[in-house]
Amino acid sequence: MLTREEVEHIAALARLELSAEETELYRRQLSAILEYAASLQELDTSEIAPTSSVLPPHGVLRPDEPRPGLSLDDVLRNAPRVDQKQFRVPPAIE
């Protein structure tokens, strides 16, 4: 079982604010998911390389040729607020 602290920590990383009830609800749900997934641990995979990708290596590379992106209007179209041609967001200083 996950602890309350673990759920709160994960919520903080995801920038989610949870009520006490929600924390308890997700603690039970997340624990159940982890438990289910943990059944995979029963398999012996010591002889098998991790599958980082199902795609074969040496994929497709792109030649280094610049192309114009979006117009400034389009770039900022979804911005909550705009200031000096930039996205204006809540203060993000540490």
Partner 1 sequence: MNYLADIGLEVHAELATRSKMFCACPVVDPALAQPNQAVCPVCLGLPGTLPVVNQQAVEFGLRVALALDCTIAPVSIFARKNYFYPDLPKGYQISQYEEPLAEHGILPIRTPQGVRNIRIRRVHLEEDTGKLTHVLADGEAYSLVDLNRAGVPLLEIVSEPDLHTVEEVRVYAESLRSLLCTLGVNSGDMEKGAIRFEANVSIRPAGSSDLGTRVEIKNLNSFKAMERAVAYQIGQQARLLDAGKAVEQETLGWDADREVTYSQRSKEEAHDYRYFPEPDLPPLGVEAAQVERIRQNLPELPFALQERLIQQYGISAEEAHLLSVDGNLANYFESCVRLAEDMPARIVLNWITGEVFAWMNQTGESIQQIKVPPEALIGLLNEVQQKIVNLNTAKSIMSEMLQSGQTAQVIIQQKGLQQVTDSNLIAAMVKEVLAAHPDEVKAYLDGKETLANWLFGQVMRRAGGKADPHMIRTELESQLKNMTKNTLRREGEK
Residues that bind partner 1 (CB under 8 A): 13-15, 52-53, 55-70, 72, 75-76, 83-94
Q: Tell me, what amino acid is at 63?
A: P
Q: Distances in Å between the alpha carbon of 37 and those of 31, 33, 34?
A: 10, 6, 5
Q: Tell me, what amino acid is at 58?
A: H
Residue 6 vs 24, nearer CB to partner 1 = 6
CB 88 within 8 Å of CB 82: yes
Residue 40 vs 93, nearer CB to partner 1 = 93
Residue 13 vs 38, nearer CB to partner 1 = 13
CB 63 within 8 Å of CB 40: no
Count of alpha carbons within 13 Å of 40, Cβ hemisphere only?
Answer: 6
Distance in Å, CB of 77 to partner 1, minimum:
10
Distance in Å, CB of 41 to partner 1, minimum:
17
Residue 42 vs 63, nearer CB to partner 1 = 63
Distance in Å, CB of 57 to partner 1, minimum:
3
